Structure 1
Amino acid sequence: MSKVLVLYYSSYGHIETMAKAVAAGAESVPGTQVDIRRVPELVPEEVARKSGYKLDQDAPLIDGPEALVDYDAILIGTPTRYGNMASQMRNFWDMTGGIWAQGKLNGKVGSAFASTATQHGGQETTLISIHTMLFHLGMVVAGVPYSCPELSNMEEITGGTPYGATTLANADGSRTPSENELTIARYQGKHVAELAAKLAG
């Protein structure tokens, strides 16, 4: 059995929805155990509530960086902040120096998914910046291959890149992940779980 972690941060629920789709894809691979966890919020609760943050999320918080070691694959989900991962996610990974120094993530599968407000809001730079971090941690990096036909959908405005699943939230957060975007997310989860099973076997 391989173990897959879907680790995410979500301010308004878009990445939370994508995380559930990624997890569903991973769970479709026989013999795969999937856990969904969140990283801690850094914004004070009063400010978060005034800003309309979605605070009622089902996934429990991750225990800490050492918990990463228990998994064969880790999929990271984050909104984009100026073309990079959100500070909440960055803060968590900045605490992984100890496990990096010991090589505890070497050979594990790593992957990423993201959201932006607009079509050209830095989705790919965010994903690639996460990939760079995963390389430093010794992980095997996976994206979404073009065998996923939804990547080539030109009939609608949609997220989705070969670097990872993405969604468009609109500037006011009013757009929720589309079925095309969720299908790509499920494909990514399945693809990563299949790779993890091969490497673990």
Structure 2
Amino acid sequence: MAETNVLILYYSKHGNTAKMAKLIARGVSSCQGVNAVIRSICPAGNENFVSSDIFVTEKDLYDCDALILGSPVRFGNMAAPMKEFIDSTGGVWASRGLESKPAAVFTSGSSLHGGQESTLLSMMIPLLHHGMLVVGLPYSEKSLLNTESGGSPYGASHWSGNGSDRVIDKNEKELCLALGKRVAQIAQKQKAG
């Protein structure tokens, strides 16, 4: 059987969402036979943007068996580059390229009560329009009950602090790993039929 591919697609301005993507990828890769594919979004109007990141293509969406989206919080919503990318996926939607695939979301924000959950929800809506099966974090994840900063049943989150320099804490890290592993396991089971 072919490997299961989980696409972790993110936009990151200060690097915190990128760090979360790497942790989620570790959770995905902890499942034997599952490949974590990390891609980022090139900021609009920055075609000459210098980065070591690999930017997402439409083919990445078709090739994935599951999708995990990540964006920083922007006024309680996903960042504009993520929204712009999602808005460009009409062709994928029309061809049902993501239908019935598992999906999840994650975010990072600088204020503790600055809209992390609404940002997670804002990313879920287009996934539902694509016909994806949205996966969250169950309360059986002990870190979800112990967190004092980031994490929600809606997905992984990180409170980065006012200077966007607060490190990802133990509970936030465990929730990133758990989200990646959970999506990977579901995608693998679904692919096996």
Query: Is the structural similarity TM-score above 0.5?
Result: yes
What is the rounded CA distance, in whole Å, between the counterparts of 1:132 and 1:88 in structure 2? 16
Give the equivalent residue in structure 1 for 2:14: 12
Does residue 192 (structure 1) correspond to residue 183 (structure 2)? The answer is yes
Preserved contact between residue 72 and residue 79 of structure 2 (Cα < 8 Å) = yes
Mapping 1:78-93, distance limit 5 Å: 78-93=71-86
Q: Deviations over 1:42-100 (max 9, x none)?
A: 36599x9xxxxxx65x43111x2232010100100110111110001111111100110
Give the Å deviation of 1:131. 1.1
Does residue 132 (structure 1) correspond to residue 94 (structure 2)? The answer is no
What is the rounded CA distance, in whole Å, between the counterparts of 2:112 and 2:14 in structure 1? 18
Give the Å deviation of 1:125. 0.7
Normalised to the residue count of structure 2, the TM-score between the two structures is: 0.93
The residue type equivalent to 2:167 in the other structure is T
Give the Å deviation of 1:9. 0.6
Give the equivalent residue in structure 1 for 2:157: 166
Does residue 112 (structure 1) correspond to residue 105 (structure 2)? The answer is yes
What is the rounded CA distance, in whole Å, between the counterparts of 2:18 and 2:90 in structure 1? 26
The residue type equivalent to 2:115 in the other structure is G
Paired residue secondary structure (2:189): helix
Give the Å deviation of 1:32. 0.3
CA spacing shift, 1:120–1:192, aligned 2, 3 Å: same
Give the equivalent residue in structure 2 for 1:51: none
Give the Å deviation of 1:35. 0.8
Does residue 153 (structure 1) correspond to residue 146 (structure 2)? The answer is yes
Preserved contact between residue 7 and residue 60 of structure 2 (Cα < 8 Å) = no
What is the rounded CA distance, in whole Å, between the counterparts of 2:171 and 2:47 in structure 1? 33
Give the Å deviation of 1:179. 2.0
Paired residue secondary structure (2:36): strand
The residue type equivalent to 2:186 in the other structure is L
What is the rounded CA distance, in whole Å, between the counterparts of 1:109 and 1:136 in structure 2? 13
Give the Å deviation of 1:180. 1.5
Give the Å deviation of 1:33. 1.1
Question: What percentage of aligned pairs have identical amino acids?
Answer: 39
Unmatched 5+ stretches in structure 2: none
Unmatched 5+ stretches in structure 1: 49-54
Residue 55 of structure 2, aligned match among 33, 45, 61: 61
The residue type equivalent to 2:185 in the other structure is E
Of 169-178 and 32-41, more deviation after overlay is shown by 169-178
The residue type equivalent to 2:53 in the other structure is A
Give the Å deviation of 1:177. 1.3
The residue type equivalent to 1:185 in the other structure is C
Aligned length: 190
Paired residue secondary structure (1:146): coil
Normalised to the residue count of structure 1, the TM-score between the two structures is: 0.89
CA spacing shift, 1:45–1:108, aligned 2, 3 Å: closer
